[in-house]
């Protein structure tokens, strides 16, 4: 089973991601902000992380930096799922270690396809 961690301060968005990916056969754990997400990440093995950028307590850049600089599963694919689409933010995310960028609202099949691609699942 492929385990995905979805971090977003919007309950609606967390549930949408969970529903879409669960229906495609992925196991999805959610976290409601960056601090919670990093804590949850350190407690289990995840095959990919999806994070929003704009969140309270710790933003998505902090999440990416914490995972990449931590001692656990530092090479996990990290996808940014956000309403933001500016090139400077995308570059900042890439420089922090993000694997990809998806703009909200997302197409269900596109999200599933990206997750399959970064986790190697067909």
Average pLDDT for 64-84: 96
Sketch out the chain's domains with CATH numbers: 3-119 (3.40.50.2300)
Cβ 53 vs Cβ 93: under 8 Å: yes
Position 107 confidence tier, pLDDT thresholds 50, 70, 90: very high
The pLDDT value given to residue 111: 97
* Prediction pTM value: 0.97
The pLDDT value given to residue 98: 98
Closest CA relative to residue 101, chosen from 86, 70, 80: 80
């Amino acid at each position: 089973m492929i385990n995905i961690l979805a971090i977003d301060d919007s309950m609606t968005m967390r549930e949408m991601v969970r529903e879409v990916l669960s229906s495609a056969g992925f196991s999805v754990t959610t976290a409601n902000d960056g601090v919670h997400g990093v804590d949850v990440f350190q407690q289990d093995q995840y095959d990919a992380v999806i994070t929003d950028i704009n969140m309270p307590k710790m933003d998505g850049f902090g999440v990416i930096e914490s995972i990449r600089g931590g001692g656990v599963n530092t090479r996990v694919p990290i996808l940014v799922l956000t309403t933001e689409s500016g090139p400077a933010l995308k570059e900042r995310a890439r420089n922090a270690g993000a694997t990809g960028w998806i703009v909200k609202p997302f197409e269900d099949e596109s999200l599933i396809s990206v997750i399959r691609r970064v986790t190697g699942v067909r």
